[in-house]
């Protein structure tokens, strides 16, 4: 794929055959192929040659020009000449031609070298040139900041990124926060969240849900509850994801009383429970010894046409065994293993 301006085009070529993820390119534009495989790229002169020859091949064979550029960027990166690689990509950008794979190669190299300044420049260039960006770009950015001391450089970068991405800055900041959390840089993710106002960026539902999940997974339940309360004070009301995040993380730390409070609040506010909600609540009632309420919720979810999962059956049978209700255990076990049963297969319930 090549982007010209802000429009993405998918091309097919009679000269290119695809085998899995590999491209076999038959004799075509031999000069470009030579540039991609040369051993020692020379700064300046060769870069201009690459720009001219790759641009000349864009219309004739876009796939080859993409591969040529990416291969040449990879050569420069392996030679340690990342700044020259970036200059080359900027030359293409100035011609309204954008190669996502080549940018990704360069950003990965900057990430490996922990070159925060270059990673920041590349990402800002991407925001100006090409959106939306894939999660891979955000991950490389987050990893580049992993060993950074202090917060000045990070906050300065996020502020500039927010300005460049306006009016879509909330979406971009959300993805940056999520990427830092995915890379286990929780403090940096929360630091960005705490400074949203200084970035002239208003948190939305997705922002709050990301932060609730970060805090819950980190076991910082009191902070999670504080942010949930703050969320309700704004015009951004909680949704099903918000409540499920609370219930799941409160369940994990044994705060069963709070689970009951938020489950009632959720249903009273008109938010319909789903499979994940029922999974959490059936386990909570079962663990607390209220097996009758667990069974009532099990019946309710089936009436709502929500198919139970194997996790729910296991939770119910384990808790029924504890209170000696073996007949019900047998009934549920037979129901679970019935050829007519269509068990839900959700993502792992953590």
Residue-wise pLDDT tens digits, 262-319: 999 999 999 999 999 999 999 999 988 899 999 999 999 999 999 999 999 999 999 9
- pLDDT for the residue 342: 67
- pLDDT for the residue 32: 43
Domain boundary among 110, 129, 144: 110
Q: Give the Cα separation of 347 and 153 in Å (integer).
A: 37
Label residue 114 by pLDDT band (50, 70, 90): confident
Length reported for the chain: 350
Residues in CB range of 64: below 8 A, 6 or more apart = 13, 15, 16, 25, 28, 29, 32, 33, 57
Residue 269 lies in a domain: no
Residue-wise pLDDT tens digits, 25-43: 333 334 444 444 454 455 4
Same domain assignment for residues 62 and 83: yes
Domain boundary among 78, 95, 110: 110
Residue 84 pLDDT > 80, yes or no? yes
- pLDDT for the residue 58: 67
Asked if 320 and 308 touch (Cβ cutoff 8 Å), the reply is: no
58-62, 204-208, 252-256: which is most confident: 204-208
344: β partners: 309
The arithmetic mean of pLDDT across residues 131-151, rounded, is 88
Residue that the structure tokens 């049963």 belong to: 341
Q: How many domains does the chain have?
A: 2
Residue-wise pLDDT tens digits, 222-244: 999 999 999 999 888 999 999 99
Domain boundary among 56, 84, 110: 110
Residues in CB range of 68: below 8 A, 6 or more apart = 29, 32, 33, 35, 36, 50, 53, 54, 57
Same domain assignment for residues 69 and 129: no
Same domain assignment for residues 105 and 196: no
- pLDDT for the residue 22: 34
Same domain assignment for residues 92 and 52: yes
The arithmetic mean of pLDDT across residues 101-128, rounded, is 92
Residue 249 lies in a domain: no
Domain, as residue range, for 141: 114-202
Residues in CB range of 34: below 8 A, 6 or more apart = none
Same domain assignment for residues 118 and 38: no
Same domain assignment for residues 54 and 148: no
Structure-model confidence comparison of residues 215 and 43, the more confident one: 215
Same domain assignment for residues 73 and 119: no
Name the burial class of residue 343, with classes exposed (0-12), middle (13-18) and buried (19+) by CB atoms within 10 angstroms of its CB. Answer: middle
Label residue 348 by pLDDT band (50, 70, 90): very low
Residue 323 lies in a domain: no
Same domain assignment for residues 70 and 129: no
Residue 244 lies in a domain: no
Q: Give the Cα separation of 43 and 47 in Å (integer).
A: 6
Same domain assignment for residues 150 and 194: yes
Residue 65 lies in a domain: yes
- pLDDT for the residue 336: 87
Residue 129 pLDDT > 50, yes or no? yes
Identify the weakest region by mean pLDDT among 60-64, 193-197, 209-213. 60-64
Structure-model confidence comparison of residues 148 and 187, the more confident one: 187
Residue 277 lies in a domain: no
- pLDDT for the residue 47: 58
- pLDDT for the residue 341: 66
Structure-model confidence comparison of residues 194 and 55, the more confident one: 194
Rounded to the nearest integer, the mean pLDDT of the chain is 83
Residue-wise pLDDT tens digits, 154-203: 999 999 999 999 989 999 999 999 999 999 999 999 999 999 999 989 99
Same domain assignment for residues 52 and 149: no
Same domain assignment for residues 4 and 105: yes
Structure-model confidence comparison of residues 1 and 20, the more confident one: 1
Residue 197 lies in a domain: yes
Same domain assignment for residues 70 and 126: no
Structure-model confidence comparison of residues 145 and 16, the more confident one: 145
Residue 15 pLDDT > 80, yes or no? no
Label residue 96 by pLDDT band (50, 70, 90): confident
The arithmetic mean of pLDDT across residues 7-26, rounded, is 34
Residue 288 lies in a domain: no
β-sheet with 2-4: strand ranges across: 7-9, 2-4, 97-98
């Amino acid at each position: 794929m090549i982007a010209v301006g802000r429009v993405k085009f998918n091309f097919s070529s009679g000269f290119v055959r695809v085998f899995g993820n590999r491209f076999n390119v038959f004799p075509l534009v031999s000069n470009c192929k030579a540039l991609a495989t040369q051993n020692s790229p020379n700064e300046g002169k060769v870069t201009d040659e690459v720009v001219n020859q790759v641009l000349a091949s864009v219309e004739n064979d876009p796939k080859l020009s993409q591969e040529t550029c990416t291969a040449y960027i990879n050569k420069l990166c392996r030679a340690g000449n990342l700044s020259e690689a970036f200059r080359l990509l900027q030359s293409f950008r100035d011609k309204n031609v954008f190669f996502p794979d080549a940018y990704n190669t360069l950003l990965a190299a900057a990430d490996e070298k922990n070159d925060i300044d270059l990673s920041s420049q590349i990402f800002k260039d991407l925001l100006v040139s090409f959106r939306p960006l894939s999660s891979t770009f955000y991950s490389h950015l987050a990893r580049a900041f992993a060993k950074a001391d202090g917060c000045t450089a990070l906050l300065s970068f996020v502020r500039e990124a927010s300005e460049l991405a306006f009016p879509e800055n909330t979406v971009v900041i959300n993805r940056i926060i999520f990427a830092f959390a995915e890379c286990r840089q929780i403090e940096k993710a929360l630091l960005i969240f705490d400074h949203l106002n200084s970035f002239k960026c208003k948190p939305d539902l997705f922002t709050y849900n990301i932060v609730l999940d970060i805090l819950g997974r980190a076991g910082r339940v009191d902070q999670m509850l504080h942010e949930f309360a703050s969320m309700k004070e704004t015009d951004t009301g909680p949704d099903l994801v918000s409540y499920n995040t609370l219930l799941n993380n409160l369940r994990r730390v044994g705060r069963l009383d709070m689970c009951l409070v938020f489950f009632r609040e959720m249903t009273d506010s008109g938010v319909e429970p789903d499979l994940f909600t029922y999974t959490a609540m059936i386990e909570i009632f079962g663990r607390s010894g209220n097996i009758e309420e667990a069974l009532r919720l099990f019946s309710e979810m089936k009436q709502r046409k929500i198919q139970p999962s194997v996790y729910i059956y296991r939770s119910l049978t384990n808790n029924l065994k504890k209170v000696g209700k073996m007949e019900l255990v047998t009934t549920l076990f037979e129901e679970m293993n019935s050829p007519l049963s269509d068990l839900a297969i959700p993502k792992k319930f953590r």
